[in-house]
Amino acid sequence: MAASFRHEFIRFAIDTRVLLFGEFKTKAGRLSPYFFNAGLFCDGNSLRQLAQFYAKAISAADVPFDMLFGPAYKGIPLVAAVAVALSEAGRNVKFSYNRKEAKDHGEGGNIVGAALTGRALIVDDVISAGTSVRESVNLIRTANATPAGVLIALDRMERGSGELSATQEVGQLYGIPVVSIATLDDLVGFLENEKGMAAQLAAVAAYRKQYGVQYV
């Protein structure tokens, strides 16, 4: 069942052209055979389906949490949509997100929504340099709450600044789990079983061999 929803997500991302194949330069200067842009989930129907996949990933991972937190900017629509998806699945949880600049009038501050309390699960699209995770963890801890983990759409499973992947670096640095809807392994598994995708499979497999990190 878990592998099923992960492969369904890969197909969904391809069908919506959020996941593309070709040659794309990453921030690290690598030439990647695929590109994932969660910002292109930009209509009501695709955002609703994306949030449902996030909810399934939460259920499969079974990470204990009390509320959701979305880092500005991409995390803002994501955290709201995931809260709705969880509500539809029978679990009503509070959520909040941050402003980039603190508000100096009205209620003030830089946190919008529910107060940060208990265990807060961070909802984001991907982890690259880990900047938004670091900012989120600091905001959560400053509020005397506890970061419960990070939930992302796709884990590229490739080396970051060292031998670990970006998600492994985050998990190790903050001592929290990083949960994804799908990983590079799931993408390879999908391509292996998809007709007409032999060229894409070969390119992605070669990229994984060169830059990938194997998880235990």
Q: Which of 25, 27, 94, 103 is catalytic?
A: 103
Cα gap 168→81, rounded to integer Å: 26
Q: Which of 27, 100, 105, 195 is catalytic?
A: 105
Active site residue 7: no
Active site residue 103: yes
Tokens at residue 107, please? 């209620």
Catalytic center residues: 103, 105
